[in-house]
Structure 1
Amino acid sequence: MGRAEERRARQRGGRRAAPKSRRSPSTAGASTATATPTAPASPAPGGRAAARGRSAPGGKPAKGRIRRLFTWKKILGTFFGLCLLGIGGFVVLYLMVPIPAAGNVAAKQESNVYEYANGDVLARSGKVNRESVSLAKVPKDVQHTFVAAENKTFYHDSGVDLRGTARGLLNTLSGKGAQGGSTITQQYVKNYYLTQNQTVTRKLKELVISLKVDQKLTKDQILAGYINTSYYGRGAYGIQAAAQAYYHVDASRLSVQQGAYLAALLQAPSQYDWAVASPTGKKLAKARWNYVLDNMVKQHWLDAGDRQSMTFPVPKEPKGAPGLEGQKGYLIELANKQLEQKLMKDEGISASQAEAEVVGRGWTITLNIDKKKQAALENAVKDQLTSKLNPKKRKVDGNVQAGAVSVDPKTGKIVALYGGQDYFKHYYSNATRNDYQPASTFKPVILAAALEQGATTQDGKPISANTIYDGTSRRPVVDHGNKVGFAPPNEDDVDYGPITVQRAMNASVNSVFAQMGIDVGMDKVMSVAGKLGMDTKGMQAVPAQTLGSMGASPLEMAGIYATLDNHGKKVTPTIVARAENKTRQVQMDDPIGDPVISREAADTVTSVLTGVVDDGTAKVSVAGNPLRAGQQVAGKTGTSDKNRSAWFTGYTPDLVTSVGLFGEDPKPPNAHVSLQGATGLLPPPGRINGGGYPAQIWAAYTFGVTHKAKFDLETTQGAAVQPSDTPSPSQSTSETPSSTPSSSSPSASQSPSRTPSQTPSRTPSQSPSSQTPSQTPSSEPPTGDVSPQNPLDPAAG
């Protein structure tokens, strides 16, 4: 075959033939003689075809195929095609989506209905507090505060933030939730025409309508619509209602400082409401207020000199809305908050959007509140405490605030709540406030951490209910021979000598649990506290925390103790059973979670806490209460530094209730003050202890609504299975205040302040024996009338 024939054969085969392999002279002729023109030779392995990455015979080249599929022309063509498709789709959407004929604000603003667990109506939220005003009645400087806060380019933008909207769409598609970036126009459209739902459809509609609204309305009309439809908290929609709610003036009389605060509120109304904000919330609110004013200076809307002279305008005390008197307002406030948190989690909306979706949106919200238990708790507080307060006769009586939360540990339902004497008289709920020290009610958390971690003492002995510690008052705490600069006194400076953990819990011995906290490791103690339900964010893991020197609420403490009662399974107290309106239903998360500590650890703490009731600081008010019908009870008293708070948190197998009393000056800034002398108690010592009124309220309520008797405990430790000797009432030890020793010099971050003059100086009439850990010292008998129900009794703790 000649070269021409070979070339034609290769062309008929559809590909080039492989180069002829080298053959020996003896075989070359035979090969040539047998060659067939229509059957081109196969490429030899390792030949040119393989070197070029061609596939096996009959296939197509791999790299060549990829190159043909992904050429630059095709990539660019696809990209521009998608762009044209997107533009076309947006044009169609723009043509098809009109501006709604009328906003839906009025339709959305309907009264919420709140029901007890049995379906009886608790309250209706009443008429929505909303009143529109023309922009001409709002001072120009105040108008600028909203623009400075939300959208500095408002006066010259097209009404939309394409970058922010695209980011929001991507976040929605990826499930990352809401993110800021909307213009004032977009927010107005969302408030007035649409909903807060975070869906792609709603966001696209918002974009189209915003563009059309910007073309149709003037900037002043849009700004007026925005400030008149926004939600500011305190049930106020619109700037006029907000001006009245926060400063008791009309919008026309707002100062630029006040306007800046109202503009700042829109980011998180409840969190920034000065009357109920946490210290962190107040800090954030003030930072946002400064941000608004600084932006006004940058935009040349405010003179820099005037800005420097401005001070933060503290809002007026809020007024309760009609129909929310008594405890109703407190119940509704917590229900709204928990529903808002659920919407934020499920729908990815912000705090302000969630509030706007809950308040006045026609919800029917069923609470877990048991109507009979709620009435019983209110009556217990009245009978045991508030009926004995006389502010006209004793000024200190006007400083007493009570709060309580009652939880079913098996379901996590909040079955009763006491937020204060009246929602109209004290807007801030004492049930959820976390600005007072829980004091010695924190000690069970330390023991739980020790048991859970399998911790040991400094000499390597496992910590258990029977472990012996040195209960000497002001004993320096040591960490493997090194003093940590912390030596807390016991109440009345009582020295206990060697004492078991069980007896130390009964008598609430500060020196023992301060050392135990170091033995366990304060970081581990605070970790367990967080797992049990305490909000430990921002808390320092320092020795002073062993005295309960952090802030906590009755709601938090009820959750912690409910988790112990529920054998270590996490309990998140929940007041909302379900909620529904015309458009959707909301089912709350299960309040019962997974175990956060072992059952043995939880049950051992419960067993130890029965000793506090039967042999310790709660003996007189709880164990000796005539209403007790054989119920087994666990609990802990607490009395904070300078007697500013007093607690009893206790539980039966089927009910957990935390009761707190707080000393608060009724005049702004509502400083923390002492409870000492309230209800006419006279020195010595005249203080209100956790084993006094808080324990009395607890017993009057609990023993009236529960009858289950025995705990189901899986433990071999503690008073429930190894009862300690029961001392007589005169030998019981009073509650230990959470305080800092004056004899030591810890850093400021490690301990609350206390001066020598503030340290209890009362000494026991009989020193405890150093050889008998179970023996508790007797206390100097108080003067005055002492009865089993009198908080003056040292056993009342």
Structure 2
Amino acid sequence: MYLSRRSRFQKQYFKQRLLAYGLIGALAVIVVGFIFSFLIFAWYAKDLPSPSKLSSLSGYSTVFLDRDGKVLYDMYKDKNRVPVTFTEIPDYLKQATIAIEDKNFYKHAGISQFGILRAAINIVLGRGLQSGSTITQQLIKNVLLTSRRTIARKVQEMILAFEVERRYKKDEILLMYLNESPYGGTFWGVGTAAKGYFGKEVKDLNLVQSAIIAGLPQSPSFYSPFIGKNDAWRGRAKDVLRRMREDDYITRDQEKKALSDLEKIRFTAPKLAISAPHFVFYSKDQVEKEYGEKLIDQGIKVKTTLDLEVQKTAEKIVSEEIEKLKGLNATNGAVVVLDSKTGDILAMVGSYDYNDEKFGKFNAALGLRQPGSAVKPITYATALEKGYTPSMVLMDVKTEFSSGNSADKPYTPVNYDGKFRGPMQIRFTLGNSENIPAVKMLAIAGIRDFLQKATDMGMTTFAPTQENLNRFGLSVTLGGGETTLLDLTSAFSVFAGNGNKKERRVISEITDFKGKKIYKQVRVREKQVLTPEVAFLISHILSDNNARLEVFGPNSYLNIPGKTVAVKTGTTDDKRDNWAVGYTKSITVGVWVGNNDNSPMNPKIASGATGASPIFYRLMRELLKDHEDGIMDKPDKVKALTIDAYLGGLPKDGYPTRSEYFIEGTEPKDVSPFYKKLKLSKANGKLANDVEIKNGNFEEKEFVIITESDPVSGDGKNRWQEGIDAWLKDQGDPKFHPPTETSDASTDDVIISIKNPSGQQTVDSNNVEIKAKIISIAKIKNVKIKINGSEVKSIDGDKEEVNETINLVDGAYELQVVATNEKDKQGESTIKFGVNKPWDYITPTVIPSPTL
């Protein structure tokens, strides 16, 4: 199409104007954006601290307090800082810090463009602000700003980063970072860290030591070798070495050697101004689990449940008693004290000396150990909830436990003192901590149910998983599993608290440095995991000094004079662990004694006499000066009853009695079934045979006959009874030895007893059912039924009973049953009866009429 010159000019003019307007608009946007950015930066920068204050530290300390506000540990009090010069810092430490924290430190202008982009993406995706700051930004955060993750704070950090980069050289910034960063606990700056962890000047640090220190500032309370997670520093150091190798600071061979040296690294012994150290670090772990480790580094006040006075008392007693045991190769001990009513941890002693180089730091209260017989109360509690009673009798005799399967290794436990005590009621098997009855009780109650009950009560390592069911056998009731002192003590607090499991409490309150509450415990969380009735029965048994008298004696360390305290001991077979756990309605105390390397103690260590028991005794006596003794109140459904003290039923003439508690509905209704009257032949004293019993040729005599079924056996063999029978052979009392042979007197006799019809009675039917019972040692070969002397039925063959029906007209009859055995001996029985007539009815005689 043809366009005029004028039209082409107008079109070109329009394009130029549009371009001009576009340029003006873009310039305006840039100017407005610049002004807006300037105003934003000015707004955020108006209250910014001066970069010249980088050498002045600000921040807040994290303080752990006991329940009364007494300071247990001030993590950052008197922050130790030993400034060093740039030339004193080894290249390895500089390189390690740059490699793990900011690989482009010498290239950027204070901020990482990639980091900003990643932060923006995270915000858009709803992930919040995440760390990833440069060394310059971290320095600003540590010294000039707070650690709060907000957009405003991030903008301020960026502004200051530009200004710091403008004012200071890169080496100066790196030096300030290394001198001002936290390196765990009171260690601030690499100079202090080098002294604190390795006892040397910073210039003398080697590659491995430099890598360890360089990895700490990211999360000093988590990675610290002294107060951090076990071995977390090790994994962090490996990451540092890998990054150094990736950034070509070290070779692969240097990395390999460093990793080898890392496994042999040694730290100087920490010297901390701290009370209850194991508890403090346990509570610190709880805070970090809930809120993350960054909260600890920001500075908070943590009010705990610990009672410092109780803690000091426990520490003193543990230290003194362990010192006495060193000659018995028992080198360590631990204690946990709980408030029975709330679940609060009042004391936690993790070792007898926290500063011991070999094992001081390890918290034995949290270590997995075998509890020995200390778990028996849970076995018996499981059984009592199934309806068994404290008066139930179990035979304490040598017993083999086996299913009979060739792949099933027989288990033959022994008692602590090697003795067997025969029939024992549950009260005394638990009180005296007898092993064999406990294993029988577990077999009866069921392993799965026991594991579930232990788990419900707080022993989580006993969960009835398939793995646990596969590895645990009946020995688990003697301590074949593993648990911690803290968990075992918590489980016992369930008995103390009416069967309620209280949630264990460590922290009562957390506040920030401004006093704002982050957390506050408002109420006790609890769950009923055991009936109050069963909790009472177990508590009553464990507090009954008479129940444990036979094994422990009247004056053991388990008996607190003038106080009512429930307590149970435990010792593993190989003497590697020794326990005492007990409680009142107000406090629960758990004690463990052993060696951290799990080596066995001297065999002279004995439950109730040495080891954990003296610690328990001394500590409980001290605690009961301020805490209430006694067990829980008796529930209404628990009734007292006088019973046979020997076999546990209702009182038996000639046997002693005692009082026992029963849950309503489980009380015995009769004397023990183990008392049996036997009919003995007058002729020879053997068991009377049926003929003698029928003839009355016997006398009755009472014996004790104890039987048990074997729920473990799978081949029909009753190994429990075999153990009982073997024990009985060694008993001299004749009541245990009833005759087993049957009398052979009167064996030729035949005894017949007519059961129907009854003698001297009237039958109201013409079809008469005749029933008789025949007793004969020899086989019967013939039975005859006679009516009024005439045989009406003859039956051949061995018969023990006769059941025949005969039709008779009305009248009076004589019934006779005669039986003959294979020895041609006869027996008979005769009765008279009537059919629709009296049995003594006389049939009238018809007199003929005279002939006329």
TM-score (norm 2): 0.58
Going by fraction, where is strand more abundant, 1 or 2? 2
Preserved CA contact (<8 Å) 1:105 1:192: yes
Number of the residue aligned with 1:95: 42
Distance in 2, matches of 1:372 and 1:305, equals: 54
The superposition leaves residues 274-332 of structure 1 with CA deviations (integer Å, 9 ceiling, x where unpaired) of 56777xx33x54333322222222221111122222321423243223xx3xxxx3425
Q: 1:388/1:354 Cα in 2 relative to 1: closer, same or farther (>3 Å)?
A: same
| Aligned residue among 212, 228, 244 for 1:261 | 212
Distance in 2, matches of 1:772 and 1:185, equals: 85
Letter in 2 for 1:697: I
Number of the residue aligned with 2:324: 388
- The reply on whether 1:597 has 2:524 as its aligned counterpart is no
Number of the residue aligned with 2:506: 574
Number of the residue aligned with 1:236: 187
Number of the residue aligned with 1:541: 468
Preserved CA contact (<8 Å) 1:139 1:254: yes
- Find the residue that maps to 1:258 and give its secondary structure: helix
Distance in 2, matches of 1:267 and 1:723, equals: 71
- Find the residue that maps to 2:41 and give its secondary structure: helix
Number of the residue aligned with 2:819: none
| Aligned residue among 402, 408, 411 for 2:339 | 408
- Find the residue that maps to 1:686 and give its secondary structure: coil
| Aligned residue among 610, 613, 616 for 1:698 | 616
Q: Shift of residue 244 of structure 1?
A: 1.8
- The reply on whether 1:226 has 2:174 as its aligned counterpart is no
Determine which structure has more spread, i.e. the larger CA radius of gyration. Answer: 2
- Find the residue that maps to 1:443 and give its secondary structure: helix
Letter in 2 for 1:187: Q
| Aligned residue among 250, 275, 293 for 2:201 | 250
Q: Shift of residue 651 of structure 1?
A: 0.9
Number of the residue aligned with 2:593: 661
Aligned residue pair count: 607
| Aligned residue among 366, 370, 389 for 1:434 | 366
Distance in 2, matches of 1:639 and 1:268, equals: 41
Preserved CA contact (<8 Å) 1:486 1:544: no
- The reply on whether 1:159 has 2:104 as its aligned counterpart is no
Distance in 1, matches of 2:641 and 2:609, equals: 20
Preserved CA contact (<8 Å) 1:647 1:695: yes
Number of the residue aligned with 2:631: 710
Q: Shift of residue 408 of structure 1?
A: 1.1
Distance in 2, matches of 1:417 and 1:307, equals: 41
Distance in 1, matches of 2:33 and 2:535, equals: 62
Q: 1:122/1:289 Cα in 2 relative to 1: closer, same or farther (>3 Å)?
A: closer
Q: 1:388/1:598 Cα in 2 relative to 1: closer, same or farther (>3 Å)?
A: closer
Distance in 1, matches of 2:640 and 2:225, equals: 46
Number of the residue aligned with 1:80: none
The superposition leaves residues 100-139 of structure 1 with CA deviations (integer Å, 9 ceiling, x where unpaired) of 2265896546777766545566677752223232343222
- Find the residue that maps to 1:412 and give its secondary structure: coil
Q: Shift of residue 355 of structure 1?
A: 3.5
Q: 1:691/1:110 Cα in 2 relative to 1: closer, same or farther (>3 Å)?
A: farther
Q: How does 1:288-687 map to 2 (within 5 A)?
A: 288-310=236-258, 311=260, 312=262, 313-321=264-272, 324=273, 329-331=274-276, 334-335=279-280, 338=283, 341-342=286-287, 345=290, 348=291, 350-351=292-293, 353-358=294-299, 363=301, 367-370=304-307, 372-381=309-318, 385-386=321-322, 388=324, 394=327, 400-425=331-356, 428=360, 433-440=365-372, 443=375, 447=379, 450=382, 487=411, 489-490=413-414, 494=418, 505-506=430-431, 507=433, 509=435, 511=439, 519-520=447-448, 524=452, 527-528=455-456, 531=458, 541=468, 546=476, 548=479, 552-566=483-497, 567-574=499-506, 581-582=513-514, 584-590=516-522, 592-595=524-527, 597-600=529-532, 603=535, 606-607=538-539, 610=542, 615-616=547-548, 620=552, 624-625=556-557, 628-640=560-572, 642-664=574-596, 671-676=597-602, 685-687=603-605
Number of the residue aligned with 1:58: none
Q: How does 1:28-47 map to 2 (within 5 A)?
A: none
- Find the residue that maps to 2:366 and give its secondary structure: coil
Going by fraction, where is helix more abundant, 1 or 2? 1
Number of the residue aligned with 1:789: none
Letter in 2 for 1:162: I
Q: Shift of residue 520 of structure 1?
A: 1.0
- Find the residue that maps to 2:212 and give its secondary structure: helix
Distance in 2, matches of 1:717 and 1:411, equals: 25
Letter in 1 for 2:468: A
Preserved CA contact (<8 Å) 1:274 1:315: no
- Find the residue that maps to 1:569 and give its secondary structure: strand
Letter in 1 for 2:447: D
Preserved CA contact (<8 Å) 2:495 2:536: no
- Find the residue that maps to 2:535 and give its secondary structure: helix
Segments of structure 2 that go 5 or more residues without pairing to the other structure are 1-29, 648-719, 731-852
Distance in 2, matches of 1:378 and 1:154, equals: 50
Distance in 2, matches of 1:188 and 1:539, equals: 52
Distance in 1, matches of 2:368 and 2:346, equals: 23
Q: 1:408/1:628 Cα in 2 relative to 1: closer, same or farther (>3 Å)?
A: same
Distance in 2, matches of 1:212 and 1:597, equals: 63
Q: Shift of residue 271 of structure 1?
A: 5.1
RMSD: 5.3
- Find the residue that maps to 1:592 and give its secondary structure: coil
Preserved CA contact (<8 Å) 1:405 1:414: yes
Letter in 1 for 2:610: G
Distance in 2, matches of 1:226 and 1:618, equals: 70
Distance in 2, matches of 1:694 and 1:554, equals: 12
Distance in 2, matches of 1:608 and 1:624, equals: 18
Q: Shift of residue 715 of structure 1?
A: 9.1
Q: Shift of residue 402 of structure 1?
A: 2.2
Q: Shift of residue 245 of structure 1?
A: 2.0
Letter in 1 for 2:49: P
The superposition leaves residues 172-212 of structure 1 with CA deviations (integer Å, 9 ceiling, x where unpaired) of x77x8x86544444433332222334455444544554455
Q: Shift of residue 652 of structure 1?
A: 0.7
Distance in 2, matches of 1:552 and 1:643, equals: 16
Distance in 2, matches of 1:84 and 1:468, equals: 97
Preserved CA contact (<8 Å) 2:310 2:346: yes
Letter in 2 for 1:701: L
Distance in 2, matches of 1:214 and 1:723, equals: 92
Preserved CA contact (<8 Å) 1:643 1:687: yes
Q: 1:543/1:562 Cα in 2 relative to 1: closer, same or farther (>3 Å)?
A: farther
Q: Shift of residue 653 of structure 1?
A: 0.6
Letter in 2 for 1:675: M
The superposition leaves residues 612-652 of structure 1 with CA deviations (integer Å, 9 ceiling, x where unpaired) of 86634997499745972553323332334643332212111
Number of the residue aligned with 1:24: none
Q: Shift of residue 697 of structure 1?
A: 1.4
Distance in 2, matches of 1:114 and 1:648, equals: 29
Distance in 2, matches of 1:541 and 1:473, equals: 27
Distance in 1, matches of 2:239 and 2:216, equals: 12
The superposition leaves residues 745-776 of structure 1 with CA deviations (integer Å, 9 ceiling, x where unpaired) of xxxxxxxxxxxxxxxxxxxxxx999559999x
Aligned sequence identity (%): 18
Distance in 1, matches of 2:95 and 2:631, equals: 65
Q: How does 1:728-743 map to 2 (within 5 A)?
A: none
Distance in 1, matches of 2:555 and 2:270, equals: 41
Q: 1:640/1:519 Cα in 2 relative to 1: closer, same or farther (>3 Å)?
A: closer
Preserved CA contact (<8 Å) 2:564 2:584: yes
